[in-house]
Structure formats: C-alpha cells, structure tokens
C-alpha cells in the first residue's frame, strides 16, 4: 500500500475525621478540622497508589504478552569465541546484529536477506549502522547447530548470508565477530511479516524515487516523487534487487538505508520514543515476528533501546555499507576492501563516531627543526573546472519574487566564480524534489564528485544516470539558501548517509 504526497523529478473528597463527644474530648471540633487535610491526603495517596498499581499491572501484562511473542536462539555459536559480557545500560556501548530472512508461505529460509550491525554509543551521542552485502565472501567459523547437533566446518571463503544456515543466527554473529573484532551483544532476526506490520503500525514511511518504478519480481510499483509506503509496498521497497541503481545489491542497500533514515526521522518528529503506549504498540508488532537471543527476551530491554535513540542528533545517526570490492575470480561476488574496512571496524570497536573527523595523525617527524608547523599543500582539483559541463535545475518548488534570482541562477553564478566556465542555469522544473541530487552521465563520475565538493553536496547525492550528458545538478528543498548545502552530517567517505539526509532512488536502467 502506498500513498503519494508530492511529486519529484500524528478533588477527592471524604468525610472529616471527627473526635469523640465533647464531654469526653473538649476541643474535638478543632481536632476534626485538623484531621480533614489528613483525610484528603490519605484519599489522594490511595488514589495515587491505585493508579500506580494499575499502571504496574498494565505494564506487567504488556511485558508478559510481549515475552510470549518472542522466540529465542543462542547468541554465539562460534567455537572458542567468548560471549559478550552483560551490558551496563548506562556506561557501555551496545551492538545489535539485525537479520532479515526471506521467509514466505511458512517456508524457513537458510539465508539472511538483510544483515545490519547497529552500534549504539555508550554516551548515547551517536549510532552507526553497517550493512553487509549478502554477496560478500568472508571466512565462516565452525558452528554447531544447537537443535540438531550437526557441526558445520569452518570455511576459508563463503557468502556471509549462508552463515544463518549453519546453525542459526548465532553463526552469523560469530562470523561478524571474527570479521570486525567486536563481541556482539544481541541479535534480532525478523521475517517479512515484521516489516509489513511495523510499517502499518507507523502509518507508513515516506520514500522518494526519481522515476516511476515497476518491478514485477518484488511487486514494487511507485510513481515518481515522494510516496508513503506501508504493508506489501514497504516490503517490496526494501526487497527489490532490480528496481534501483545498477540492479544489484548496492542499489538495494542504498534504498534500505534511505528507508531507515526516513523512518528514524518520522519516529523522532512524532515523539514516538517518548510515548510509552506507542512504544509498546511498536514492540508488540515487532515481537510477533522476532527471534532474539535469550538476554533480549525481556521486552523492557527492547523498550530501553529507545533511551539510546531518542535524543541522538539525526546527523550523527549513520547508515553505511561495509567497504567492498569485486572478488577477483568472480565479479558477481564481493570481498572486503581491507584498507577502508579496517578503520571502520576499529572505530566501532573503540566506540568512535564515524560522522566526526578522524583523530589527527601524530606530528610529522620531518617537520622543520625550528618548530614551524608543516602545512600540507592543498590538493589541486583533478579536473580543470572550466572543462566540466554543469547544468543546474531549480527543483525547490519555490517561486522567486520579481527581480530575485532563482536557485539555479544563484548556484550557477557561484560556480562561475569558482572557474566552472560551463555552468549553466537551466531554470525551474515543475516537479519539486525533497533532495538535492547531482546526476552524471557515463564517464563523468569524478567530475560530478568535484562539483559536489564545490557545492558541499554529500557523496550519497551523486548518482549515475543514462538520461544525463555531463553533470546535472538538481537543487531540492534541502538547499534553498546559500551557495553551499547545509550540513546534515557526513559518513567519512564511506558509502551511505545520515538520518538527517533525505535521499531519492534512481530507477534501474535510468
């Protein structure tokens, strides 16, 4: 189910206490007057106690109901791996592996369709969610299925999504522990019904596509622009492998990250994380289709996760993809780009925020002996700006007053002042876009990235398009003033986005 919002390119009273008869207690009237306030206080205390008891009973009933919803499996099946020690909810970072299974029609899948590792910082200042492509080849540890006793031998290289079939989610936890150097605290494994029901409970999640999408394989059907998706359409948006980008896992993960970022914005905007009844409603929806480790069976632990999320700045909630390169013997498979993935995993182990600049390197031992600090030479641009064809379109949806420059004119003038002699203000377009995007034709990627840097546009907003010659900048509703885009966070050169960034998907083949 989807609904279209816009087009792109939620006093007690009681009897006074009276004394004995006047003959027995002269002055009893005065005692009666002093007793009245005490009676009121006692009545108020009784009502407050009843209210608290009722509330505790309600919460207790809800907890029992939610506990009965949950299935459990062991956290870690890796031999020789230590289980994570109990987490101190006040002082420790928390890692949760989120798995989505391709279960339909009652048939259990042996592969995980979605693998995301969420790292919630100890100080609650940031969250990093790392997606692992299902075609990623990694070493798999030996795992013993706790239900059948079958032991699956270790493998030097196998698809990471196959670990689930080697005994359950605990084997995937063990594999990612070995891969990252972490000791994952919990896992959550959900099936397709969880996605559909959660999106319905939230009342839909807004997504954006640049062109109409019709994907028969997943069932995704969306018009161009912004739509609110829920139920089957929300599931199709997350599952489609042929709907976006290059038709592979990269475009699918990008769409999942965009969906989750939009969901985080919606939940925070609506104050859901501060609303206990709403949280229980969401928890009940999710737990009906959730398998977790035994330590996470207490639903209050699930609710407590909201405390780690409710006050985090959206620009410090990062969704990134584990850095990968094609496998040299099979371009349809991927392996880690160790030079880039190692710093990412180190940051997770050290509970560092990847949206913050990396620590400064140690002072250069070759600095001048007089103590003068060495200043690194500014890198020259890869291309002469004067050779880059740039076309700028105003998709903000705003109408400038007479004599006021439109956004395409403002940014074209800015680029011209920076030496982009071919920058062209191409006018307004009828359909507004929530996101600023930079499209590039074949062979123009690095030029598009250079233009993006000149305008302060995040790398996630740079995308290929067969419909563009050269570089085309489409200025959206998130860039209505200034000559550099407002800061919505950065993911340190990795592939991904922050929750503060609004992104749109490009349909496969466009």
Quote the pLDDT of residue 3. Answer: 57
Q: Which domain holds residue 207?
A: 72-349
Quote the pLDDT of residue 67. Answer: 60
Quote the pLDDT of residue 80. Answer: 64
Q: Are residues 448 and 345 in the same domain?
A: no
Q: Are residues 436 and 338 in the same domain?
A: no
> Which of the residue ranges 109-113, 121-125, 405-409, 440-444 would you say has the lowest mean pLDDT?
109-113
Instruction: Give a yes or no: residue 356 inside a domain.
Output: no
3 state DSSP class of 31: helix
DSSP H stretches of helix in 12-88: 28-69
Average pLDDT value for residue range 379-383: 82
d(CA 392, CA 425): 5
pLDDT confidence tier of residue 360, bands split at 50, 70 and 90: low
Quote the pLDDT of residue 32. Answer: 43
Instruction: Give a yes or no: residue 323 inside a domain.
Output: yes
DSSP H stretches of helix in 107-216: 169-180, 192-201
pLDDT confidence tier of residue 11, bands split at 50, 70 and 90: very low
Q: For residue 104, what is the DSSP state? A: B
Query: Above 90 in pLDDT, residue 446?
Result: yes
d(CA 388, CA 423): 8
Length of the chain: 510
d(CA 179, CA 140): 9
Average pLDDT value for residue range 489-510: 91
At 385-412, the pLDDT tens digits run 999 999 999 999 887 665 678 999 999 9
Quote the pLDDT of residue 185. Answer: 93
Q: Are residues 343 and 449 in the same domain?
A: no
d(CA 345, CA 179): 9
Using a pLDDT cut of 70, give the percent of the chain over it: 76
Quote the pLDDT of residue 296. Answer: 81
DSSP string, 232-285: HHHHHHHH-SSSBTTSSHHHHHHHHHHHHHHHHHHHHHTTGGG-HHHHHHHHHH
Q: What is the mean pLDDT of the chain?
A: 82
Q: How many domains does the chain have?
A: 2
Q: Are residues 185 and 292 in the same domain?
A: yes
Given its phi and psi angles, is residue 383 left (phi above 0), alpha (psi -120 to 50 degrees) or beta? Answer: beta
Q: Are residues 205 and 289 in the same domain?
A: yes
Q: Are residues 165 and 215 in the same domain?
A: yes
- Higher-confidence residue of 381 and 132: namely 132
Which of 23-27, 211-215, 308-312, 471-475 ranks highest by mean pLDDT?
471-475
Q: Are residues 397 and 304 in the same domain?
A: no
68 Cβ contact list (under 8 Å, min separation 6): none
Query: Above 90 in pLDDT, residue 233?
Result: yes
Quote the pLDDT of residue 106. Answer: 46
Query: Above 90 in pLDDT, residue 443?
Result: yes
Q: Are residues 300 and 444 in the same domain?
A: no
d(CA 264, CA 16): 54
Given its phi and psi angles, is residue 411 left (phi above 0), alpha (psi -120 to 50 degrees) or beta? Answer: alpha
Instruction: Give a yes or no: residue 510 inside a domain.
Output: no
**What are the phi and psi torsion angles at 321 (to 5°)?**
-105, 135
Give the helix/strand (H/E) hosting 115: strand 112-120
d(CA 421, CA 169): 56
| Closest by Cα among 249, 268, 246 to 257 | 249
Supply the angle between the helices 276-287 and 28-69 in degrees, to the nearest 10: 30
Query: Above 90 in pLDDT, residue 420?
Result: yes
Instruction: Give a yes or no: residue 39 inside a domain.
Output: no
**What are the phi and psi torsion angles at 464 (to 5°)?**
-75, 150
Instruction: Give a yes or no: residue 321 inside a domain.
Output: yes
Q: Are residues 140 and 230 in the same domain?
A: yes
pLDDT confidence tier of residue 294, bands split at 50, 70 and 90: confident
pTM of the model: 0.82
Instruction: Give a yes or no: residue 270 inside a domain.
Output: yes
Quote the pLDDT of residue 53. Answer: 40
Quote the pLDDT of residue 372. Answer: 53
Write down which residue in 321, 349, 377 finishes a domain: 349
107 Cβ contact list (under 8 Å, min separation 6): none
Residue 417 maps to which CATH number?
A: 3.30.70
Instruction: Give a yes or no: residue 216 inside a domain.
Output: yes
d(CA 200, CA 206): 12
d(CA 112, CA 292): 14
At 69-89, the pLDDT tens digits run 678 899 998 876 555 666 665
Residue 174 maps to which CATH number?
A: 3.40.630.190
Would you say 452 and 383 are in contact if contact means Cβ atoms under 8 Å apart? no
Quote the pLDDT of residue 370. Answer: 54
> Which of the residue ranges 76-90, 247-261, 426-440 would you say has the lowest mean pLDDT?
76-90
Average pLDDT value for residue range 268-279: 84
d(CA 42, CA 155): 70
| Closest by Cα among 482, 433, 426, 480 to 461 | 433
Quote the pLDDT of residue 70. Answer: 73
d(CA 286, CA 266): 17
Would you say 378 and 149 are in contact if contact means Cβ atoms under 8 Å apart? no
d(CA 23, CA 27): 9
Q: Are residues 405 and 327 in the same domain?
A: no
pLDDT confidence tier of residue 492, bands split at 50, 70 and 90: confident
> Which of the residue ranges 260-264, 303-307, 310-314, 421-425 would you say has the lowest mean pLDDT?
303-307
Q: Are residues 345 and 405 in the same domain?
A: no
- Higher-confidence residue of 402 and 147: namely 147
Q: Are residues 328 and 459 in the same domain?
A: no
> Which of the residue ranges 136-145, 218-227, 234-243 would you say has the lowest mean pLDDT?
234-243
Query: Above 70 in pLDDT, residue 485?
Result: yes
Instruction: Give a yes or no: residue 67 inside a domain.
Output: no
> Which of the residue ranges 294-308, 362-376, 412-426 would you say has the lowest mean pLDDT?
362-376
Quote the pLDDT of residue 358. Answer: 61
């Amino acid at each position: 189910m989807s609904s279209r919002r816009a087009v792109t390119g939620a006093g007690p009273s009681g009897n006074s206490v009276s004394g004995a008869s006047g003959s027995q207690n002269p002055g009893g009237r005065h005692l009666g007057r002093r007793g009245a306030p005490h009676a009121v206080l006692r009545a108020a205390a009784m009502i407050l106690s009843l209210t608290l008891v009722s509330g505790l009973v309600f919460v207790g009933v809800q907890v029992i109901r939610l506990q009965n919803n949950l299935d459990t499996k062991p956290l870690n099946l890796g031999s020789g791996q230590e289980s994570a020690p109990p987490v101190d909810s006040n002082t420790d970072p928390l890692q949760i592996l989120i798995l989505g299974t391709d279960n339909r029609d009652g048939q259990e899948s042996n592969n995980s369709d979605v693998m995301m590792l969420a790292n919630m910082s100890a100080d609650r200042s940031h969250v990093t969610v790392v997606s692992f492509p299902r075609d990623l080849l990694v070493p798999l540890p030996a795992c013993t299925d706790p239900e059948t006793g079958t032991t699956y031998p270790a493998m030097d290289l196998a698809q990471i999504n196959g670990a689930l079939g080697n005994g359950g989610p605990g084997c995937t936890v063990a594999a990612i522990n070995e891969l990252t150097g972490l000791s994952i605290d919990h896992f959550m494994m959900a099936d397709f019904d969880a996605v559909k029901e959660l999106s319905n409970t939230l009342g839909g999640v807004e997504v954006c596509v640049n062109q109409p999408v019709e994907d028969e394989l997943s069932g995704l059907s969306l018009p161009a622009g912004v739509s609110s998706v829920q139920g089957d359409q929300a599931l199709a948006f997350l599952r489609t492998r042929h709907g976006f980008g290059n038709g592979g896992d990269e475009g699918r993960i990008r769409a999942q990250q965009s969906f989750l970022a939009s969901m985080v914005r919606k939940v925070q905007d609506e104050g859901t994380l501060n609303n206990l009844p709403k949280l229980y409603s969401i928890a009940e929806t999710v737990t009906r289709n959730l398998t977790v480790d035994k330590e996470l069976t207490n639903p209050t632990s699930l609710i407590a996760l909201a405390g780690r999320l409710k006050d985090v700045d959206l620009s410090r909630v990062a969704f990134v993809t584990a850095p990968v390169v094609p496998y040299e013997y099979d371009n349809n498979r991927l392996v880690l780009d160790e030079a880039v993935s190692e710093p990412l995993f180190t940051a997770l182990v050290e509970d560092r925020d990847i949206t913050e600049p990396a620590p400064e390197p140690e002072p250069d031992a070759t600095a001048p002996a007089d103590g003068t600090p060495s200043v690194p030479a500014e890198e020259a641009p890869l291309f002469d700006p004067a050779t880059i064809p740039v076309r700028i379109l105003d998709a903000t949806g705003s109408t400038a007053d007479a004599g006021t420059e439109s956004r395409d004119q403002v940014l074209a003038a800015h680029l011209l002042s920076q030496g982009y002699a071919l920058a062209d203000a191409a006018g307004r377009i009828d359909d507004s876009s929530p996101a600023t995007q930079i499209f590039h034709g074949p062979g123009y990627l690095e030029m598009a990235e250079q233009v993006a840097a000149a305008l302060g546009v995040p790398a996630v907003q740079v995308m290929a398009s067969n419909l563009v010659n050269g570089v085309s900048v489409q200025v959206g509703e998130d860039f209505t003033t200034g000559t550099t885009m407002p800061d919505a966070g950065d993911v340190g050169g990795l592939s991904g986005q922050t929750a503060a960034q609004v992104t749109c998907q490009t349909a496969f083949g466009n």
